[in-house]
Every structure is written in structure tokens, then in C-alpha cells.
């Protein structure tokens, strides 16, 4: 077979979503040269100023993040009472937010790890900032469990360590599993993210024009020289961590779900929760990326690296998981009906028709129904459809957490104990603040760290394929 130059180097707005006879499929539009990949990504960091839009966004999210920490201070010094939590509803917003963010924290690892194991080349365009979302989401999630307890300064009692009380934590408690799971996940995902950046950091170091940059990136690159030996060890290490991360992706959300599944509250006591939470997590993760990818590539001019094909694939995966979600929801309702248990039945009725009906329906519609639009390629590839859908899915996921936690707790066994949950301004403030924190970190990341894994993209360019016949015009 033969290849023409223009087939390697397609126009920037080339529609690469369709199936072509081109093997491998075009995953970079525009001039597909190593040099261009490097410059496309590096210039974002090397530019003296960020794109104008970056500054207002950063200011907004930074101030929200500030609000978050101010409110945390207020809560710690005053008491859990500043939230809307009450007698039947012990957990309220903090845990809703926690589960929500933990969920989002799943796409990155999934893309990088699982797709890496499956040798999916297209992941290279997006895995870097997918992993970033993971790390930042985990950080946002990590904020809540520690501060939601009544006496945060004693939270370290969860740790099993020899002490003068001659006492151990209770290993039966899902909260303990939860803490361990999330802790592990944070470590691994940070490692994975950083390790994946090393060669690119080295690239930046070498391109650096100022002493400061050179030194900073130099240290961060840990003396990466790109020797064959480096690469050999590096690939192996990456593979091992990918393996670990993959287990965690499936493990963490299942563990988080046991916080609820292990209890006996109707609406929580569900065997289906581990898969539901895992699927939900991955789903919300991909929704996040679907939502973020468009602005990122638009603002930083990465259209030819994050191509329509990437976004198309993401949308397909989102659709896939959305459909599983829909299925699980229906199963849940059916089982509730089929169990004949009046308490179960009532809780699900209450989800959809009780005081929090809006959350119930938002959950069902945004997570299950709306994504079905993505069956259509048109919807998958048009930013003004796909990005909003991503946002709606996120809303839906938050509402799911809300429904499960608040919809169930406020109406459990004894009607005399029922009580509505009314969030306070602190609750809303902290919710907004957690988004602030997330975007602060994300914006900093976009500005100062290579948004796309350069070396990985290079590795999938046609010219990296040894079997590809050398010919004139192919720039190397």
C-alpha cells in the first residue's frame, strides 16, 4: 500500500471521525510533525501571558476556592450545625459533594490506565488533562470527609496506631475502608500523573530560555535524558502503575458505595450500589472531560491534537455508561417494587414524588435519558451539543448523590423522626467553593504543565511506525 504526503498531513479541520482505509487512523490533523506537536503544546507554557480569558476565569475560581477555606475555618471553629444537617439527615451536603467528586476522579485513571492496557492510541490526545481532572477531583473530594466530622482535630483516630488508650479503630466500619481506599487512590493517581509527565517536563527543560524555567523543569524532570534505558524502565513502571490504577478504578467507588450499601437505611441498603457507583463514577468522569475538552482545545488552540475523533470516542463511552446507568436505575426501581418491602417501595416513590422529586427526575433524565442523544454523530461532534450535555450529566450525577443520600435519609423507618433537610448558605458556599478549588487547580495546570502528553502523541504519529515506508515529503 502507498501513502501520499497529504494523507499524513491533513488539514487542521479535517474530519477524522469516520472510518477511513487509513491505517492507522489520523489522530493529528494539520501538519503531523514532531516539531509541531512540541511547539503546539509547549508554547502554551512558554508564552509570556496566558490567553486573555484565562485571567477572569482564574480570578473567579480562585476567589471561590478562598471562600471554601474560609467556610471550612468557620465550620471547624463553630460546629457542624452551621450546615443544614439534622437528626435524620446526618450527612447532608459534605458527603454529597464528597461522593460526587470521588466519582469525577475516575475518568483520568480509566483513560490512562485501562486504555493504556488496551493499547488505545487515541487516548494520547486527552489522557494528560484527564489525569489532571482526576487528581484535582480527588483533592476536592478529600476536603470533605475530614471536615464533616464533629471533631475534625481527632480524625486521626481513624488511623490504626499504637496509643496510650490501648484502643484500635473499628475495622468493620465502611468509613475506615473508605478512608483507606480514597487515600490509596490519591497516592496512585498523583504518582501516575506525575510519572506520565516526566519526558514532557524534560522537553520543556530543554526548550527553556530562562534560568528559572530551566532549573524548575530540570528538577521536575529528574534528570530525564531520554536514553533507550530510560524509556525501557519508564514504560515498565508506567505499565505497573497502570495495572494498579486499573484495580483502583474499580475498587474505590465500590468501597465508597459500601458507606451506604452496608447500612440498613432503605434506599442505601442496595447490593447493586458498588457497580452503580463505579459506573456512575466513570460516567461522570467522562462527562467532565467531554465538558472540558472543547474549551481547552479552543482556548489553547489544540484542535489538531484533541481532534473530533477523540471527542467522538469520549462521547461514545459516555453514551455507553449512561445506558448502563439507565438500566441500573430501572432495575433498582423494579427490585424495590418486586421486594414487596414497604419501606423500600416508599423510599423510591419518595425519591421521585417526595419533596426532592426534582433531584430524582434530574438524576433519571440527565444521566439516563439525555445522553441518548449521543447516538447521533452530529450531537457527538458539535461542541454546542456535546459540551452542554457533559455539564448536564454532571448536574445529574450530583443530583443522584443528593437523591440517594438526602432523599433516603430524610424518610426512613419511623415517620415520627422524618424531617426535611434544608441546606444553609454555608452548604451552598462550600459546594461552589469546591468547584472553585477544582478550576483553580485546573487552570494553573493548563497554564504551567503540558496539557497534552507530547511524547505519547508523537509515538502515534505515522512516522513513528517502523513499517511505514520512508518517502519524500514525510517530515520527521
Partner 1 sequence: MSDKPFFVFPRWSDTATKVILACGVLVPVYLVILLGYGANARTLNVNYQPVQPVAYSHAFHAGKLGINCQYCHTDVKRAAFAALPPTQTCMNCHTAIAPHSAALAWIRKSYKTGMPVPWKKVNDLPDYVYFNHAAHVNAGVSCLICHGQVNEMTHVYQAKPLNMAWCLQCHRNPAPYLRPRNEVTNMNWSPTDKTKLASDLGLTVATLPKNLGKYLVKRYHVPNSKLLTDCELCHH
Partner 2 sequence: MSSLSDQNLTGKEYWRSLEELADTPEFRQFVQREFPNRASEWLNGDRRRFLKIMGASFALAGLAGCRRWPAETLAPYAHRPANRDPGTPVYYATGMDLGGIGQGMLVTSVDGRPIKVDGNPTHPLNGGASDIYGQASVLGVYDPDRSRTVMRKGKSGLEPGNWDDFSTAWRKIGGDLQKSQGQGLAFLTGASSSPSVQDMLKRTAKAFPSARFFEYEPISSDNARAGTLMAFGEPMRVVPQLAKARVIVSLDFDFVVGDPLSVKLSRDFSAGRRLTDPATGDAATDMNRLYVIESTFSATGSLAENALHRIPLPAQDVVIATVAIAAGLKKRGINIPELPSLGGALPEPMRQDVIDAIVADLLTHKGECVVVAGSQQPAAVHALAAAMNSALGNTGKTVEYYKDPSADRTAHDQSITNLTAAMRNKEIRTLVMLDVNPAYNAPADLDFASALANVTESIQLSNYVDETARLCTWHLPAAHYLESWGDIRTFDGTISIVQPMIEPIFGGKSVIETLAMLLPSGSKTAVVSGYEIVQRTLGLKAGEWKWKKALFDGYIKDTGWSALTPTLNASISKDLTQAIDARPRAALGAGNIEIVFRPDSKIYDGRFANNGWLQELPDPMTRLTWDNAAVISPKLAKTIGLSFHKTQMLAITVGGKTLKMPAYIMPGQPEFSISLALGYGREGVGSVADGAGFNVYSLRSVAAMNFQTGAAVKVTAESYELANTQDHFAISTLSQEAVAARIPDLIHQATFAEFQKDPSLGHKKAKAVSLWEMHRYDTGYQWAMAVDLTTCTSCSACVVACQAENNIPIVGKQQVMNGREMQWIRIDRYFRGPNADSPEAVHEPILCMQCENAPCEAVCPVGATSHSADGLNMMTYNRCIGTRYCANNCPYKVRRFNFFDYNSGTLKDLYKPNILRSNMNDLAAMQKNPQVSIRMRGVIEKCTYCVQRIDDARVTAERQNRRIRDGEITPACAQACPTQALIFGDMRDKASRVAKLFKQPRMYGILNDELNTRPRTRFMPKISNPNPSLVAVETSPLGTQ
- C-beta closer to partner 1: residue 214 or 269: 214
- C-beta closer to partner 2: residue 129 or 177: 177
DSSP tag of 30: B
By CB under 8 A, name the one of 168, 375, 425, 428 that touches partner 2. 168
DSSP tag of 470: P
Q: With beta carbons less than 8 A apart as the criterion, state whether 321 and 313 touch.
A: no
**Beta-bridge mates of residue 10:** 30
Residue 230 interacting with partner 1 (CB under 8 A): no
Residue 199 interacting with partner 1 (CB under 8 A): no
Mutual angle of helices 425-448 and 92-104, in 10-degree steps: 20
> Quick one: what does residue 235 bind among partner 1, partner 2, none, with the CB cut-off 5 to 8 Å set by partner type?
none
Which of 77, 82, 60 shows the shortest CA–CA distance to 426?
82
- C-beta closer to partner 1: residue 204 or 289: 204
Q: With beta carbons less than 8 A apart as the criterion, state whether 424 and 100 touch.
A: no
By CB under 8 A, name the one of 123, 148, 309, 401 that touches partner 2. 148
Residue 265 interacting with partner 2 (CB under 8 A): yes
> Quick one: what does residue 102 bind among partner 1, partner 2, none, with the CB cut-off 5 to 8 Å set by partner type?
none
Burial class (CB in 10 A: 0-12, 13-18, 19+), 371: buried
- Pairwise CA distance, residues 439 & 446, whole Å: 10
- C-beta closer to partner 1: residue 120 or 215: 215
Binding window for partner 1 (CB under 8 A); candidates: 41-49, 208-216, 358-366, 424-432:
208-216
By CB under 8 A, name the one of 90, 223, 301, 473 that touches partner 1. 223
The DSSP result for 242-278, as a single string, is HHHHHHHHHHHHHHHHHHHHTS-STTT--TTHHHHHH
C-alpha cell at 246: 486499573
By CB under 8 A, name the one of 60, 67, 80, 385 that touches partner 2. 80
- C-beta closer to partner 1: residue 91 or 217: 217
DSSP tag of 10: B
Residue 339 interacting with partner 1 (CB under 8 A): no
> Quick one: what does residue 166 bind among partner 1, partner 2, none, with the CB cut-off 5 to 8 Å set by partner type?
partner 1
Q: With beta carbons less than 8 A apart as the criterion, state whether 92 and 461 touch.
A: no
Helices vs. strands in the chain: H and E counts, helices first: 19, 0
**Beta-bridge mates of residue 30:** 10
Binding window for partner 1 (CB under 8 A); candidates: 40-48, 91-99, 144-152, 203-211:
203-211
Residue 129 interacting with partner 2 (CB under 8 A): no
By CB under 8 A, name the one of 27, 143, 188, 208 that touches partner 1. 208
By CB under 8 A, name the one of 244, 262, 298, 369 that touches partner 2. 262
- Smallest gap, in angstroms, from Cβ of residue 447 to partner 2? 36
By CB under 8 A, name the one of 11, 18, 24, 81 that touches partner 2. 81
Which of 433, 430, 439 shows the shortest CA–CA distance to 93?
430
SS3 content of the chain, % helix, strand, coil (to 5): 70, 0, 30
Which residue, chain included where needed, has cell 483513560? 111
Residue 30 interacting with partner 2 (CB under 8 A): no
By CB under 8 A, name the one of 219, 239, 240, 417 that touches partner 2. 417
By CB under 8 A, name the one of 409, 441, 460, 461 that touches partner 2. 409
CB atoms within 10 A of CB 109: 30
Query: For binding to partner 1 (CB under 8 A), which residues are involved?
Result: 162-167, 205-211, 214-215, 218-219, 223
Amino acid at each position: 500500500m502507498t501513502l501520499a504526503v497529504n494523507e499524513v498531513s491533513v488539514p487542521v479541520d479535517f474530519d477524522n471521525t469516520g472510518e477511513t482505509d487509513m491505517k492507522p487512523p489520523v489522530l493529528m490533523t494539520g501538519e503531523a510533525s514532531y516539531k509541531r506537536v512540541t511547539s503546539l503544546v509547549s508554547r502554551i507554557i512558554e508564552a509570556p501571558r496566558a490567553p486573555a480569558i484565562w485571567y477572569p476565569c482564574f480570578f473567579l475560581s480562585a476567589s471561590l476556592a478562598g471562600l471554601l477555606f474560609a467556610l471550612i475555618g468557620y465550620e471547624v471553629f463553630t460546629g457542624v450545625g452551621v450546615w443544614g444537617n439534622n437528626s435524620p439527615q446526618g450527612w447532608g451536603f459534605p458527603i454529597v459533594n464528597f461522593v460526587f467528586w470521588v466519582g469525577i476522579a475516575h475518568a483520568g485513571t480509566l483513560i490512562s490506565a485501562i486504555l493504556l492496557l488496551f493499547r488505545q492510541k487515541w487516548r494520547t490526545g486527552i489522557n494528560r488533562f484527564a489525569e489532571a481532572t482526576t487528581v484535582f477531583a480527588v483533592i476536592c473530594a478529600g476536603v470533605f470527609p475530614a471536615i464533616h466530622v464533629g471533631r475534625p482535630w481527632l480524625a486521626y483516630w481513624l488511623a490504626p496506631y499504637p496509643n496510650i488508650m490501648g484502643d484500635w479503630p473499628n475495622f468493620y466500619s465502611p468509613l475506615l475502608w473508605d478512608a483507606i481506599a480514597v487515600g490509596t487512590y490519591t497516592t496512585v493517581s498523583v504518582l501516575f500523573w506525575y510519572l506520565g509527565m516526566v519526558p514532557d517536563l524534560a522537553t520543556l527543560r530543554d526548550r527553556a530560555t530562562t534560568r528559572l524555567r530551566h532549573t524548575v523543569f530540570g528538577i521536575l524532570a529528574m534528570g530525564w535524558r531520554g536514553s533507550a534505558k530510560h524509556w525501557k524502565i519508564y514504560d515498565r513502571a508506567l505499565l505497573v502503575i497502570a495495572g494498579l490504577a486499573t484495580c483502583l478504578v474499580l475498587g474505590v467507588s465500590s468501597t465508597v458505595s459500601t458507606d451506604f450499601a452496608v447500612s440498613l437505611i432503605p434506599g442505601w441498603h442496595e447490593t447493586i450500589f458498588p457497580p452503580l457507583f463505579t459506573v456512575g463514577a466513570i460516567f461522570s468522569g467522562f462527562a467532565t472531560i467531554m465538558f472540558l475538552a472543547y474549551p481547552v482545545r479552543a482556548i489553547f488552540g489544540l484542535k489538531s491534537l484533541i481532534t473530533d475523533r477523540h471527542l467522538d470516542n469520549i462521547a461514545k463511552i459516555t453514551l455507553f455508561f449512561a445506558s448502563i446507568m439507565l438500566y441500573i436505575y430501572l432495575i433498582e426501581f423494579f427490585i424495590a417494587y418486586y421486594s414487596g418491602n414497604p419501606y423500600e417501595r416508599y423510599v423510591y416513590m419518595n425519591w421521585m414524588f417526595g419533596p426532592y422529586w426534582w433531584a430524582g427526575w434530574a438524576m433519571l433524565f440527565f444521566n439516563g435519558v439525555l445522553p441518548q442523544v449521543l447516538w447521533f454523530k452530529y450531537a457527538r461532534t458539535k461542541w454546542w451539543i456535546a459540551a452542554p450535555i457533559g455539564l448536564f450529566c454532571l448536574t445529574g450525577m450530583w443530583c443522584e448523590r443528593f437523591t440517594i443520600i438526602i432523599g433516603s435519609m430524610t424518610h426512613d423507618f419511623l415517620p415520627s423522626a422524618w424531617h426535611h433537610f434544608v441546606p444553609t448558605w454555608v452548604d451552598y458556599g462550600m459546594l461552589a467553593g469546591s468547584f472553585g478549588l477544582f478550576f483553580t487547580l485546573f487552570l494553573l495546570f493548563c497554564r504551567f504543565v503540558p496539557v497534552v502528553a507530547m511524547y505519547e502523541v508523537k509515538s502515534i504519529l505515522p512516522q513513528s511506525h517502523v513499517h511505514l515506508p520512508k518517502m519524500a515529503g514525510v517530515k520527521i
